[in-house]
Amino acid sequence: MMSNLAVLPIIIPLVSGILLAFFHTKTPFVRHAAKLLSVISTGVAAYVFYYVLQNGTVTLETGGWEAPYGIVLVADLLAVTLVLTTNIIGLACIFYAPHSLTEQKEKFYFYTFFFLLITGVSGAFLTGDLFNLFVFFEVLLMASYALITLGGEKVQLRESIKYVLVNLFSSIVFVTTVAFLYSVLGTVNMAQMAERVQEVEQQGILTTIGILLFFVFATKAALFPLYYWLPKPYTVPNPVVSAMFAALLTKVGVYSIIRMFTLVFVHKMEVTHELFIWIAGFTLVFGAIGALSTNNIKLVIAYNIIPAVGFMVMGVGIYNQTALSGSVYYMISDMIIKAALFLLAGAVAHVVGTPDLRKMKGLIHQLPLLGWLLFISAFVLAGVPPFSGFIGKLMIMQGGFADGEIAIVIIGLLSSLLILYSIMKIFVRGFWGEKDESITIDKKTVTALTWPVAFLVFFTVLLGIGAEMFYPVVDDISNQLMNPEIYIDSVFKE
């Protein structure tokens, strides 16, 4: 039965995590097994992606309970694309991890929690049930609590308290909002919610609940004014963990916004989507300014998460097919490049011994490949053609112009310049200049740390240069997003 394909990207990482928990003390074995399992998981995700691309959405009614009574998993093109991206990032991180983590941390179930994080993220992308989305949020948050405190250094514990409290609070609001929605609509199945909201044309209270839900996801996605918690906690754990967080966690929030506000709450655009544009504008400005405010290279990159989220939400706010294509394209590209940048910053900080930019100079002599990868990454992030960031931003801007949202487009363009400057600052100050003789490098480790970064950068370059090839897929995704009936019909098939 092919519908079981939809659950495979959730089960395989889960089984991997469980199996590795049995052998957590045998580090060399676990390392190799984790690599192998990660390759398998990526392979399966790629197959599911291919299958959905060829045959359309796969829905699974778990336990044989018919929708809307049971929980459905809906592997539509958007979900499987993001699942595949998640797995590719996981693959790079798994190969980076052994050279970056201490053996002590690996023994404390690092790989188990790593796979559980992927399980939670994949589940959140695939589920077609709002309460189940909450459950998968909790799965990924539980794993992230363990990963962020792994090692138990003082600074980690201090920052993780902030992280845990913010996420706990937003989870409480989330489940409350689900209860509100259930009391009004009598369902938590997304497709049925969409139908019922449409029937009553999203009257007063529903719009209010929708905005409440938006603020829950905005906390996870780090949008203005709820981003204040994000930058510091993301810099304290190991680079691998930071990379996973930066690439996946905020994007799950963005995905949820895209899903709910293209499927369910689409009948009062002048309130909800107008609000998104305003919030996206502030997010862009404040995030970019934050990135300029610090000399800690990890913090620079952490702050750069925020304007990127602003871009994606801007596309949702504009809400036409071009802008949504742009949002999805930019999201895929940004997931990969954020992971690459965090791994890169981690490698640089590992070599120099500090993430402080003022203590670096002339690194290009010791780390030529990493230097040029950073250079390319900066271009991808800022959206310089022909890289993938450009294509995503271009489509969002085009969509914005078509709808007459000129102001936000100009803010977007200006903040892109600030983003470019903030990353170039790392390149100019850290990599240019005289060779610093005091820095000694361990060639073997540096090479091992560089390859996963190169692997990810290769994908973003491919996304940019091969845009012709990927564009039809993204266009198909945004077509599905603009026509909620496709999603609804795939759940309630006759």
Partner 1 sequence: MHGTNDLILRTATVLISFILFAFSIYLFLAGHNAPGGGFVGGLMTASAIVLMYMAYGERAVSKIIPVNYRFLIPTGLLIALLTGAGSFAFGEPFLNQTFGHFHIPLLGDKELATALLFDLGVYLTVVGITMTIILSIAGDRE
Interface ranges with partner 1 (CB under 8 A): 1, 3-4, 7, 11, 14-15, 18-19, 21-22, 60-64, 112
- CA angle, corner 384, sides to 379 and 389, nearest 5? 80
Q: Judged by CB, which is closer to partner 1: 9, or 355? A: 9
Q: Of 147 and 349, which CB lies nearer to partner 1 in the complex structure?
A: 147
For residue 466, the 8-state DSSP code is T
Q: How far is the CB of 119 from partner 1 (least distance, A)?
A: 10
Phi and psi based region of residue 163 (left: phi greater than 0; alpha: psi -120 to 50; beta: remaining): alpha
Cβ distance to partner 1 smaller for residue 140 or 277:
140
User: What backbone phi and psi angles, to 5 degrees, belong to 94?
Assistant: -65, -35
Please, which residue, 150 or 324, has the CB nearer to partner 1? 150
Residue 104 CB, shortest distance to partner 1, in Å, is: 17
Please, what is the minimum distance in Å from the beta carbon of residue 98 to partner 1? 21
The amino acid that residue 192 corresponds to is Q
CA distance 479 to 321: 7
CB of 14 to partner 1, least distance (A): 6
Question: Nearest-CA neighbor of 80 among 445, 429, 480, 361?
Answer: 480
Nearer to partner 1, 142 or 269 (CB): 142
Q: Considering the complex, state which of residue 33 and residue 211 has its C-beta at the smaller distance from partner 1.
A: 33
- CA gap 225, 241 in Å, rounded: 25
Residue 63 CB, nearest approach to partner 1 (Å): 4
Residue nearer to partner 1 on the CB measure, 112 or 294: 112
How far is residue 251's CA from residue 238's CA, in Å, rounded to a whole number? 20
Taking the complex as a whole, the smallest distance from the CB of residue 11 to partner 1 amounts, in Å, to 6
Q: Coil, helix or strand for 65?
A: coil
Q: Are 362 and 434 in contact (CB under 8 A)?
A: yes
Q: In which element (H, E) is residue 72 found? A: strand 72-75
In whole angstroms, how large is the CA radius of gyration of the chain? 21
Distance of closest approach, residue 178 Cβ to partner 1, in angstroms: 21
